[in-house]
Amino acid sequence: MPVDPQLRSLNIDIPAQPEVLTRLSALLLDENVNLQAVSALISTDMALAAAVLKSVNSSLYGLRGRVQSVQQAITHLGTREIGSVTFAMGLKAVFPAAAELAPLWERASVRGVLMSRIGQALGVDPWVAHSAGLFEECGKAVLFRHSSERYRKLLAAAADDEELLMLEHSEFGVSHDALGAALCESWGLAPAAVASVRFHVIVNTTRELPMQLPRRSICALSALAYALMTDPASLDEVARAVAPQAGLDPTLVLRGARKVQEQIEAAVAREAAQQD
């Protein structure tokens, strides 16, 4: 999908989707996805396969034993979960390795899992939810890739993402939410994921979901994940605010989010106990 001409006129490059992810997307569109084909495709890229296995074996996924192959990972977690992890690693690989971006990728992994699992609990497409969570801050990486020295100063100066948007507009004429949405479009993500990336800052700041969107549930999951990651005590309040706007039951939303939170906390506790 072509990038918005207005963004092209700013001379800020949107990285192309790696070929392996393009082919993986095509496989995952099939409801009767071929497990062997997915495993073989990921395994053809040794660096990508190694990164996927490292991620899957982290406490975030809560597996009780270590997996040693992509096929084994798919058996434990399913094709779309592994597809999501592969997208996370592939996205990270198109940007420069930098200390400033490390927290961004860590948040992306956690947010993607949170949104996916909450979505699964609520009957909201977990694949789209995971993609939205993973790509939410990718526009920051685009700007860092474009001009690391200039953008490094903005990251250090901004108190929060709302202030960062204003600084980005002043410095570059565009903000990371718009660039992130453009990257999502060019990589063929679902419209609901693109919208969630485009509006995540205003949603997390105001807890108001954009009225113009026909599907607001992915944006609601973004707000829930943000609450769990930054201020868990606010989860009840966030659920009551965003659930009705997305046509979801606040009680069920809160129950699903709490369950996911408990699962991840239990997995982290198990890993800590094993290391002691």
**In the prediction, which pLDDT does 71 show?**
87
pTM: 0.85
Give the mean pLDDT of 24-51.
Answer: 83
Count of alpha carbons within 13 angstroms of residue 104, beta-carbon side: 24
22-33 tens-digit pLDDT: 888 888 777 778
Q: How confident is the model at residue 129 (pLDDT cuts 50, 70, 90)?
A: very high
Torsion angle (degrees, nearest 10) of CA 60, 62, 65, 70 = -60
Q: How confident is the model at residue 175 (pLDDT cuts 50, 70, 90)?
A: very high
Placement of tokens 């453009």 in the chain: 182
Instruction: Look over the chain and give the mean of its residue pLDDT values, rounded to a whole number.
Output: 88
Q: Is the pLDDT of residue 2 over 80?
A: no
82-100 tens-digit pLDDT: 888 888 888 888 998 999 9
| Distance, CA of 108 to CA of 226 (rounded, Å) | 11
Q: How confident is the model at residue 180 (pLDDT cuts 50, 70, 90)?
A: very high
Taking residue 186's Cβ as centre, other Cβ atoms within 10 Å add up to: 17
219-265 tens-digit pLDDT: 999 999 999 999 999 999 999 999 999 999 999 999 999 998 888 88
Q: What does the angle CA 33 – CA 217 – CA 231 come to, to the nearest 5 degrees?
A: 110
- Going along the chain from its start, the domains and CATH numbers come out as 9-94 (no CATH), 99-276 (1.10.3210.10)
**In the prediction, which pLDDT does 145 show?**
94
**In the prediction, which pLDDT does 184 show?**
92
